[in-house]
Chains A and B, each alone.
Chain A
Amino acid sequence: EVQLVESGGGLVQPGGSLRLSCAASGFTFSSYAMSWVRQAPGKGLEWVSGISGSGVNTYYADSVKGRFTISRDKSKNTLYLQMNSLRAEDTAVYYCAKDPGVAAENWFDPWGQGTLVTVSS
C-alpha cells in the first residue's frame, strides 16, 4: 500500500524557515515524480512545487520561487520542502502527493494527510 506521511509543520515567525518532510513507502520512490500542494484555511488548492523521479528537474509556483526548495533523498525515501523567508500568506496545510504514472502525468494520487504551517508573530 502506498503511504505518504508528512511532518515538520508548526508555528514560525514571518521571515523564518521551516523544512517539511514526506516519508514515502509502498512504491519505488525514485521512479515517480512528487509534488507539494497547499491549502490555506478555508481556501482552495494551490500547487507549490514538483520534482521529477530522478530529482534532476524541479518546478515552482511563482508565489514561492526563490524562497522554497524541493528535494528528495532516494536512500531515505523522503521528499522535502525547504521553506525560507516565510510570509503570513504561506500559512496553509501542506500536502505531499505522488504522480501515479512512471511517465510523469502531473496529477496526484495518493496524497498524504497534510501538515499545518502557521506563519505568525
Chain B
Amino acid sequence: DIQMTQSPSSVSASVGDRVTITCRASQGISSWLAWYQQKPGKAPELLIYAASSLQSGVPSRFSGSGSGTDFTLTISSLQPEDFATYYCQQANSFPLTFGGGTKVEIK
C-alpha cells in the first residue's frame, strides 16, 4: 500500500499569510494526487486534482504542485474561510490512501 505523509499536522497562520502544506508518497504516484478541504461537521470538498489542476469553483489562491513522491498545496493569501483541515489523497492505485491531515488554525 502507498503511504501518504503530510506535514505539518497543524499550522497557525494569520489572514493574508502564505501557507504551504506538503505531502509525500511512499512510492512514485506520478501526478495522481488530490487535495481536499474539510470544515468541522462537513464533508470534504475537492480543491485540486491531478496534483495541480484547480477544481471548478475553487478560488485561485489555492494551487498545487509536484509529481512523483513530493507534492505541495499552497494558499497564497489566507482568507477567514480557509481555516479548515486539508487532506491529500493518492489516486494512483488501490487501496486509495489519504494523508493524515493538516489543520490550519487562526494565529
Contact = CB atoms under 8 A, between A and B. Distances in A.
Interface residues of A, number: 22
B1 A108 contact: no
B75 interface: no
Q: Is the interface of A mostly helix, strand, loop or mixed?
A: loop
Interface residues on B, range: 20 to 34
Contacts of A45: 36, 38, 44, 87, 89, 98, 101
Contacts of B97: 47
B95 interface: yes
A101 to B, nearest CB: 9
A61 interface: yes
Given A47-B97, A106-B91, 19 more contacts: A45-B36, A45-B101, A47-B96, A50-B96, A59-B94, A59-B95, A60-B95, A62-B95, A100-B46, A105-B50, A105-B91, A106-B32, A106-B96, A107-B34, A107-B91, A108-B36, A109-B45, A109-B55, A110-B43
